[in-house]
Amino acid sequence: MAAELAALRTADGRPYQLYPLPWARPILDEGRRLAASYANYLIVNGAVLVPAYGDKADDEAARIIGTAHPGREVVQIPCRPLIWQNGSLHCITMQLPAGMI
The string of pLDDT tens digits covering residues 18-68 is 999 999 999 999 999 998 999 999 999 999 999 999 999 999 999 999 999
Catalytic entry in 91, 96, 97, 99: 91
pLDDT of residue 100: 65
The residue extents of the domains of the chain are 21-93
User: Distance from CA of residue 101 to its chain's centroid?
Assistant: 27
- Contact between 61 and 50 under an 8 Å Cβ cutoff? The reply is yes
Active site residue 79: no
Identify the band that residue 90 occupies on the pLDDT scale cut at 50, 70 and 90.
confident
**SS3 letters across 16-45:** CCCCCCCCCCCCEECCEECCCCCCCCEEEC
pTM of the entire predicted model = 0.83
